[in-house]
Amino acid sequence: MKNPSGYGKVTGTCGKSLEIYLQIAKQVIEDASYFTHDRSSTKKCGSVVAEICVGLKPDEAAQIGGDTILACLGGLPKGKVHCAFLAAEALHAALGDWEKRSRCAGSPHTAPVAARERWE
């Protein structure tokens, strides 16, 4: 995505990274995409995040956690559950980045407060 409103990248202890890109306008996530080098569970979780956050307000998207992603996928194998939480953390990092950019640009909005702290 060119010129995202918010960008988040996280790397888990497993060594896998996930990037989330958000396009936010008028307090609504209009578009979302992800990137990962992983081909399995991290990719699935990134895809779910990109799908479910479109159309939400940032404060609503901030409520998406690893459990939400797991529910959408119908679960993951025991050794891959952490990928859902990695995806949630990347989303929250992108929301935090959007909030920071918006403040710097002087744009009035009601961005989520401490979005990264909301996931579990």
Pair of tokens at residue 37:
């080098």
Does any domain span residue 48?
A: yes
Query: Residue 66's domain is classified under what CATH number?
Result: 3.90.1010.10
pLDDT band per the 50, 70, 90 thresholds, residue 117: very low
Contact 115, 62 (CB under 8 A): yes
Contact 46, 87 (CB under 8 A): yes
Entry pTM:
0.85
Does any domain span residue 118?
A: no
pLDDT band per the 50, 70, 90 thresholds, residue 106: low
Q: What mean pLDDT is predicted for residues 91-117?
A: 70
Contact 53, 91 (CB under 8 A): yes
**Measured CA distances, 64 to 3, 49, 56, 105 (Å):** 23, 8, 11, 26
**Tally of structural domains, the chain:** 1
Which structural domain, as residue segments, surrounds residue 49? 6-104
Does any domain span residue 25?
A: yes
pLDDT one-digit tens code per residue, 52-71? 999 999 999 999 999 999 99
The answer to whether residue 47 scores a pLDDT higher than 60 is yes
Does any domain span residue 74?
A: yes
